[in-house]
Chains A and B, each alone.
Chain A
Amino acid sequence: MKRKLICTLVGAAVMSLAAGQSFAQKAPAVKLSGDMVKIGVLTDMSGVYSDLGGQGSVTAAQMAVDDFKAQAKPSWKIELVYADHQNKADVGSNKAREWYDTQGVDMITDALNSAVALAVSKVTLEKKRMLIDTGAASTRLTNEDCSPNTVHYVYDTYALANGPGKAVTKQGKDSWFFLTADYAFGHSLEKDTSDAVKASGGKVVGAVRHPLNASDFSSFLLQAQSSKAKVVGLANAGGDTINSIKAANEFGLTKNQTIVGLLTTIIDIHALGLPTTQGMMFTEGFYWNLNNDTREWSRRFFGKHKKMPSMLHAGTYSAVMTYLKAVQATGTDEADAVMKHLKSTTINDMFAKGGKVRADGRMVHDMYLVEVKKPAESKEPWDYYNIKAVIPASEAFQPMSLSRCPLVKK
């Protein structure tokens, strides 16, 4: 009786040892803080950017986690948390701090709104974690305020300004007039675009400044109309862009001139409708109807979110997926190691083809110059764009030679 028991015990011990060994051989040992990977989606869920990121970003991140679990079958746990930063830098930074300090969050993503993004980037550096920003537009994230722990993933104002500046000008629309929101953001959009226009052989015939949140654009648009420029560039954002597009349509500006939005997304087009926006041109980092991969993913996303993805949503999916793959490859969630891996690999998925993370933290990938279809050309809901040009990754973003980031060795 006793012997039998000992035999069983020894047998069980041997078995478990063997099982443990075979397990250890199958997957490389993964060392994780808090025994899991925790990802935080910090976004605006109630304010002006909630359609651009918001709940859609959370859905996209969750899809990435689910897909990764299904594909890679990791032996470790992945958890997703999210918060609404209400477009307040103090709420965002406080939440990020709390996540890092008390909840063991390893990586934060989305972080739209430049003030929030910059604040969270500082906290992230202090706490030695990771920020993969898919939402903010400011180039400061990869220039003056660049950080070894931050990746800027989807777009920035340089890419949005530079793309149309070059590509539209090269298509023969070579004289530009700007409608610029009168503060730093608008000025930098105008300057970046003007530089690209001039470098491509075009000319800038004038510009008019309007105050932030202007309600009446008629006098500004009349100036734009009388300038006879072939292109009217809108160096503004949000409600100002929407109002200027509406007014431009009412004034019949669109008959002879092309409107180029410098911060316009599919969300704006969907809100304004094709009759108002037809013929507009701008740059996007992603379009759902680009190829089979994007269509397949976007339809799945549509099934959950009931809206087609913006470039932020697709970017957030890609960022979370890329991050999880990097954790698996390096066997750790320690920021330095994961970052090193990210900067040495090429990102290939439905969002980015041949995407690369540069030393300054900028993820470079192809951008697309799109033209809004006429209502008659649109065959199905959300069928909005004709792709006019693909701006290759090497040209789309600010060249490293112009970088003001201290991490870049020149």
Chain B
Amino acid sequence: MSRSAIGYGILLALMLVAPAVVYPVLVMKILCFALFACAFNLLIGYTGLLSFGHAVFLGTAGYVAGHSIKVWGFPPELGLIAAALAAAGLGWVIGSLAIRRSGIYFAMITLALAQMMYFFFLQAPFTGGEDGLQDVPRGKLLGFIDLADDYNLYYFVLAIFVFAFWLIHRTIHSPFGQVLKAIRENEARAISLGYDVAKYKLLAFVLSAGLAGLAGATKTLVFRFATLTDAHWHTSGEVVLMTLLGGMGTVFGPVVGAATIVTLQNELADKVGSLVTVIMGVIFVVCVLAFRRGIVGELGALYKRMTGRR
């Protein structure tokens, strides 16, 4: 326990000094997608539900945060909370419909509802259609910290990430998390033990949607816009890739996966030109064929083999 506490401490210290070495906006983007992937992992990795429409929560919260901050003049912290609540609310609606089915049907229902929302965003006047909702002010946190400064914003985003990560960590290791894992392993058995499985699934779905929304709202604040890309099913696919690549059902997997994908997208953009998407595809194929447990999963397995703990 103390060893992992030291590990977390070192990681946090690294994150605190990261902007001095790496470009802060890139790290903020990584943190946003890492949070998104962690929220997604809560569903697929710990509850065994594959949502194929998770981008809708990222996108919705992005638009809600953008619109409330830009048009209604909300301060940033209130905009983020409103957006996360909106995403959680949408998660409750979509979740209560989707959890009635499982497996591929669950995935298709989430995809279908997400596509409906996508077309709503395409048409709705406040989103700016494919031009996007642009020029969202970053504003002042609590009225006095100017977020227009990249470094101030970085520490704010880091704080949000640490809070959300702690929340996910806490959820996974709580009795509630144990029940979720029981549902993942054997749903019929969980029912027979007297758990109201539907309620647990719905709660996990709402929590995941809300956290994905928090990621989307933070992203809007970082980039100062919300666009259709965030609500597009490509993004839903991307988060699956991030989670699988990093290691499904591990605490750190989604973070590593998101960092890898975002960094590759960014760094390859001006080096290989049109090959970016091809390289992503190859990575996915190799990952699925050779490293089924993902980066963190494989490393964890290796560590266990080395230390002889089986």
- Interface residues of chain A, those whose CB is within 8 Å of chain B, are 45-46, 50, 54-55, 58, 81-91, 93-95, 97-98, 101-102, 114-115, 118-119, 122, 138, 140, 145, 182-185, 211-212
Contact A184 B128 (CB under 8 A): yes
Q: Determine if B25 is an interface residue (Cβ-Cβ < 8 Å).
A: yes
Complexed CA–CA distance, A380 and B187 (Å)? 68
Complexed CA–CA distance, A115 and B29 (Å)? 18
Q: Determine if B292 is an interface residue (Cβ-Cβ < 8 Å).
A: no
Give the residue name and chain of the B residue nearest to A237 (CB). Answer: B130
Q: Determine if B276 is an interface residue (Cβ-Cβ < 8 Å).
A: yes
Complexed CA–CA distance, A114 and B278 (Å)? 24
Tell me how far the C-beta of B22 lies from the nearest C-beta in chain A, rounded to whole angstroms. 10
Stretch of B240-248, B265-273, B298-306 at the chain-chain interface: B265-273
Given contacts A122-B134, A122-B225, A184-B125, contact A84 B25 (CB under 8 A): no
Complexed CA–CA distance, A373 and B240 (Å)? 48
Given contacts A89-B225, A182-B123, A184-B125, contact A84 B130 (CB under 8 A): no
Contact A90 B274 (CB under 8 A): no
Interface centre among B23, B266, B274, B278, by most A CB within 10 Å?
B274
Task: Note all chain A residues with C-beta closer than 8 A to B130.
Answer: 114-115, 183-185
Complexed CA–CA distance, A92 and B278 (Å)? 19
Give the residue name and chain of the B residue nearest to A211 (CB). Answer: B119
Q: A118-B225, A122-B135 are in contact. List 5 more A-B contacts (CB 8 A).
A: A45-B276, A90-B230, A119-B132, A119-B227, A138-B131
Given contacts A55-B273, A55-B274, A145-B135, contact A184 B266 (CB under 8 A): no
Given contacts A94-B26, A184-B129, contact A115 B228 (CB under 8 A): yes
Task: Note all chain B residues with C-beta closer than 8 A to A89.
Answer: 132, 223, 225, 227, 229
Contact B123 A183 (CB under 8 A): yes
Contact B229 A46 (CB under 8 A): no
Complexed CA–CA distance, A82 and B276 (Å)? 13
Q: Determine if B224 is an interface residue (Cβ-Cβ < 8 Å).
A: yes
Complexed CA–CA distance, A55 and B270 (Å)? 12
Task: Note all chain B residues with C-beta closer than 8 A to A101.
Answer: 23
Given contacts A90-B223, A183-B129, contact A82 B270 (CB under 8 A): yes
Contact B223 A83 (CB under 8 A): no
Q: Determine if B122 is an interface residue (Cβ-Cβ < 8 Å).
A: yes
Q: Determine if B67 is an interface residue (Cβ-Cβ < 8 Å).
A: no
Task: Note all chain A residues with C-beta closer than 8 A to B276.
Answer: 45-46, 84, 86
Contact A82 B273 (CB under 8 A): yes
Contact A115 B270 (CB under 8 A): no
Complexed CA–CA distance, A122 and B223 (Å)? 10
Task: Note all chain B residues with C-beta closer than 8 A to A140.
Answer: 128, 131
Complexed CA–CA distance, A58 and B271 (Å)? 13
Total number of B residues with any Cβ neighbor in A under 8 Å: 34
Q: Is the interface of B mostly helix, strand, loop or mixed?
A: helix
Complexed CA–CA distance, A81 and B269 (Å)? 11
Tell me how far the C-beta of B154 lies from the nearest C-beta in chain A, rounded to whole angstroms. 13
Q: Determine if B219 is an interface residue (Cβ-Cβ < 8 Å).
A: yes
Contact A83 B134 (CB under 8 A): no
Give the residue name and chain of the A residue nearest to B224 (CB). Answer: A122
Name the one of A84, A90, A115 contacting B131, with C-beta atoms under 8 angstroms.
A115
Contact B223 A94 (CB under 8 A): yes
Contact with A along B156-174 (1 / 0, CB 8 A): 0000000000000000000
Q: Determine if B277 is an interface residue (Cβ-Cβ < 8 Å).
A: yes
Complexed CA–CA distance, A345 and B275 (Å)? 40
Task: Note all chain A residues with C-beta closer than 8 A to B270.
Answer: 81-84, 95
Contact A114 B223 (CB under 8 A): no
Tell me how far the C-beta of B71 lies from the nearest C-beta in chain A, rounded to whole angstroms. 13
Task: Note all chain B residues with C-beta closer than 8 A to A46.
Answer: 273-278
Interface centre among B230, B268, B270, B275, by most A CB within 10 Å?
B270
A-B contact pairs, 13 of them (CB 8 A): A45-B273, A45-B276, A46-B276, A81-B270, A89-B229, A90-B229, A115-B132, A115-B134, A115-B225, A119-B224, A145-B135, A184-B131, A185-B129
Task: Note all chain A residues with C-beta closer than 8 A to B278.
Answer: 46
Chain B 160-205 interface residues, beta-carbon cutoff 8 Å to A: none
Contact A93 B269 (CB under 8 A): no
Task: Note all chain A residues with C-beta closer than 8 A to B123.
Answer: 182-184
Task: Note all chain A residues with C-beta closer than 8 A to B273.
Answer: 45-46, 55, 58, 82, 84
Tell me how far the C-beta of B233 lies from the nearest C-beta in chain A, rounded to whole angstroms. 12
Task: Note all chain B residues with C-beta closer than 8 A to A84.
Answer: 268-270, 273-274, 276
Complexed CA–CA distance, A288 and B270 (Å)? 29
Task: Note all chain A residues with C-beta closer than 8 A to B275.
Answer: 46
Complexed CA–CA distance, A54 and B229 (Å)? 19
Tell me how far the C-beta of B296 lies from the nearest C-beta in chain A, rounded to whole angstroms. 25
Chain B 204-235 interface residues, beta-carbon cutoff 8 Å to A: 219, 223-225, 227-230
Task: Note all chain A residues with C-beta closer than 8 A to B122.
Answer: 183, 212
Complexed CA–CA distance, A166 and B136 (Å)? 37
